[in-house]
Structure 1
Amino acid sequence: MDRILVTPRSLSRGGHPALRMLEQAGYSLVMPAPGSLPDEETLMAALPGCVGWLAGVEPVSERVLDAADRLRVISRNGTGVDNLPLRALETRGIELRRAEATNARGVAELALALTLSGLRQIVWTHEGMRNGGWPRLMGREMCDATVGIVGLGAVGATLAQLCLDLGARVRGYDPFANADRVTHRNFTRVDLDEAIAGVDAVSLHAPMPEDGRPLLTAGRIAAMAPGTVLVNTARAGLVDETALLAALESGRVACYATDVFDKEPPDPSPLLAHPRVVLTSHIGGFTDASVERCTVRAVANLIDALGRNAQTDAH
C-alpha cells in the first residue's frame, strides 16, 4: 500500500478525523516523530517508499530528498515554505502544495495580542505583581497608535484590518500585494522605511529575502522611534539580532515579542534572555480553528495531487 509521511506536530500523534480521509483513499500513514519535530536522520529513514508527505515546519535538506525515492508531492500544513529546498523540489519534479491563508486569522490574532501586550506592558506588570510589587506602568491605547505592518499577505492584511477596527492608523508595506489589498481611510501604503520609522508598533509578516539578509537592518532599527514595540510572527532572520539587542538596551525598542526562532526549541541567547523580550513557542497558527482549516486543506491537496483509491504497492 502506498504510504504518506505525516510530520506536523499537531497531527503526528494521529487521531485527527481528516487523516482518516487519507486512509479511506487507500494510503497508509507513517508518523515517525509523534508530537515533535523529526530530525534529518528520522526523515531519511521514514521517507523511502512514501508517495506523499503531509509536512510541517521541520527543516528539509537536499540530503533528505535524496532518500525520497517515490515522493510525488509535499503538502504543507500551512503557508510558509522557508524550510523546504524549493529548487531541489523542482529539479526532482516533486510537486509542492500549500494550505494558503488557512491559519491567517490565528497568526494575526496572536500578533495583535503581542502588540497589545507590548503597548500595555502586560508581561512586566504581571511579573511585578508575581514578585510582590504593585507596578502601574503607563500604557498606550490602540486608537492613538500608528502600526507599521511589513507584509500584506493573508496574515498581514488580516492584522491590518484588526488594528483598523480598533481605531489605529496603519502603514502597510508590501511590494507585491495588490493596490486594493487593504482599503480604509486610516490605512496608507508606504515603503519599508516609512512603515517602521516613527510608529508605535511594527509587526513583521514577510518572507525572508532571497539573499538571506534581514529586512530590519541595524540602520532601520536605529531609525525606529524610541519605545517602539516590535512583533515578529514571521521569520526570526528578518531582524538583525545584534542591532535589536542594542536597541532593547537603549530603549529604542521597548519590547520585542517573537513567536519564531531559527531553531525550535531555541538555544539560549542574550537576546532571548533580555527582560524586554516576550516569547511564545511558535503558536501563531496553533488554534483549534486554524489547525482544522490547515489540516483539511492540506489533506485535500494531497488527495487532489495523488488521486483516490490508491492501489497496494506491489513492492
Structure 2
Amino acid sequence: MKILDSSNMKGIKVAVTTVAFSKNEQLVNQLNQSGFESIKTNTAGKRFERDELIDYLSDCDAAIVGLDKIDDELLKMLPKLKVISKYGVGLDNIDLKSCESRDITVLHTQGVNRRSVSEMALGFMICLSRNLYTGSNELKLGLWNKNGGQQISGKTIGIIGVGNIGKDLIALLKPFNCTILVNDIIDQADYYAENNLEEVSKSELIRRSDIISIHTPLTEETMYLINKDRLAEMKPSAIVINTARGGIINQNDLKNALKNKLIAGAAIDAYETEPPEDSDLLAIPNLMNTPHIGGNAREAVIAMGHSAIDNLTKFYRKN
C-alpha cells in the first residue's frame, strides 16, 4: 500500500458524500483547512443513486462516506479512489474484500457515536413503556387517555449485540435496577460478570425480555434476525427496538405483529429502504419511527466528522 507524506496532500482530491457532514460548517471548514488540493461536499443534500455516486466520486482520490453502498460494482468504476474514510461506525455498507483487492484503504473509528445512539435507545424504552409517544399523539387528536403505561425500572431488558453502543446502554440502565440479559457472538464473560449481566441464547433472551434492544451490524447472520417466528416468541407486553441497521428486523413481519397485537410496541430508526416507503408501517400508532438519526445528535455529528477528517489526514501524513 502506498503511503503519501504531507507534501503530497496538496495533490489529493477529497469528496464528502454524507449530508450531515456537508451541511456542518465547522466540519467543512476543518476539512478545507486540512491541506488537500480540493474538497467536494454534498451541500445539496443529495441521496445518490449508483450512477450519480460514480459521477460524484470519479475524479477523487479519497472519499468521506456515510451509509452509501460501496460495493465491487461501484469500485470498479472508480479506479482513482484509493482511500475511504467512514463517517460513522458501521462498515456493513462497504465491501471490504473488494477494497482490499483494489488496494483501497478503509479508515474508521469504532464507538465514536455510541452515546448518541444509546440515549436514543433509552428514550425509546421510556417513551413506549410509559405511553408518552402514543399518549401525546392521541391527545393531539383530541383523545384524553390517562394510560400511564409502566416503568422500566426493575424490568428485564434484553440486549443483542454488546459492543460499544450495547455497553454504553448498559451503563445508562444501571440506575433502573433492571435484569439485563445479553447475547453476543464474542466471549465477554469477564465484562458480564463485572456488570451483573446474564448471558443467554437469543431464543431465551427473546422469550424472557420485557424490552429488546438490538445493537449488531447487518450481516448474513443478522439479516431478518427478528422475524415472525421470533416475534411470536416474545411476550405480548414486549417492546422491540432497532437503532442499528435496517434489515435486522423484517418490517412486514413487524407490521403484522403490531397490527395483531402479538407485541406491545416497537421503535425503529433504520429501515430496509431509506427513506422507508411503507406508509402502512409508519402509520401504526404503537410504532415509533425516526429517520435514522440515532447517531446524529449534534455532539455525535461533530465527533464523527472530526474522526473521519483526522483519520484521513493522519493517513496521508504518515511516513
TM-score normalized by the length of structure 2: 0.90
Matched, 1:62 2:72: yes
Which residue matches 1:234? Answer: 244
2:177 match: 167
Q: Is the counterpart of residue 102 in structure 1 residue 112 in structure 2? A: yes
Contact 2:161 2:184 in 1 (8 A): yes
8 Å CA contact retained: 2:86, 2:106: yes
**Count of residue correspondences:** 309
Q: 1:71 to 1:19 in 2, by over 3 A?
A: farther
1:158 aligns with 2:168: yes
Distance 1:292 1:14 in 2: 8
**Structure 1, residues 174-215: CA drift from partner, whole Å, max 9, x if none?**
121522334556421212112221211000101123256311
1:288 deviation in Å? Answer: 1.5
Distance 1:293 1:110 in 2: 17
- 1:14 shift after superposition: 5.6
Residue 212 to residue 200, structure 1, CA distance change in 2 (3 Å): closer
1:243, CA displacement in angstroms? 2.6
1:73 to 73, 83, 87: 83
Q: What residue is the counterpart of 2:34 in the other structure?
A: 24
Could you tell me how far 1:235 is from its partner in structure 2? 1.5
Match of 1:293 in 2: 303
- What residue is the counterpart of 2:8 in the other structure? none
1:312 corresponds to which residue?
Answer: none
Note if contact 2:152-2:178 (Cα within 8 Å) is conserved in structure 1: yes
Structure 1 window deviating more from structure 2 (200-209 vs 65-74): it is 65-74
Is contact 1:78-1:103 (8 Å) kept?
yes
Instruction: Tell me: CA distance 1:27–1:182, structure 2 relative to 1, closer, same or farther (3 Å).
Output: farther
- After TM superposition, give the deviation of residue 82 of structure 1 in Å: 1.8
Contact 2:156 2:210 in 1 (8 A): yes
Partner of 1:230, secondary structure, is strand
3-state secondary structure, aligned to 1:24: coil
More helix by share: 2
Distance 2:251 2:296 in 1: 25
CA distance in 2, matches of 1:158, 1:63: 36
The answer on whether the counterparts of 1:149 and 1:156 sit within 8 Å (CA) in structure 2 is yes
Shift of 1:145: 1.1
Separation (CA, whole Å) in 2 of partners of 1:65 and 1:157: 34
* AA matched with 1:268: D
Q: Distance in 2 between matches of 1:120 and 1:48?
A: 50
CA distance in 1, matches of 2:154, 2:222: 35
Report what 1:92 is aligned to. 102
Name the SS of the counterpart of 2:169 in structure 1: helix
SS state at 2:306 partner: helix
Structural RMSD (CA): 2.1
Q: Distance in 2 between matches of 1:259 and 1:266?
A: 10
- The 8 Å contact of residues 232 and 258 in structure 1, kept in 2 or not, is answered as yes
Which 4+ runs in 1 deviate beyond 4 A? 182-186
Which of the numbers 4, 10, 13 marks the counterpart of 1:3? 13
Give the match for residue 143 of structure 1.
153
Q: Which shows bigger deviation, 236-245 or 183-192? A: 183-192
After superposition, residues 116-135 of structure 1 pair within 5 angstroms as: 116-135=126-145
- Residue of structure 1 equivalent to 2:186: 176
Question: SS of 2:311's equivalent?
Answer: helix
Q: Which runs of 5+ in 2 are unaligned?
A: 1-10
**250, 264, 284: which one pairs with 1:274?**
284
Shift of 1:89: 1.2
Q: Deviations over 1:238-296 (max 9, x none)?
A: 11333322221232211111100122211124333322211111111111211111111
Distance in 2 separating the partners of 1:289 and 1:182: 29
Q: Does 1:213 align with 2:220?
A: no
Q: Percent identity?
A: 28
Give structure 1 stretches of 5+ with no counterpart. 310-315
Task: Quickly say closer, same or farther: Cα 1:185–1:58, change in 2 above 3 A.
Answer: closer
AA at the equivalent of 2:263: V
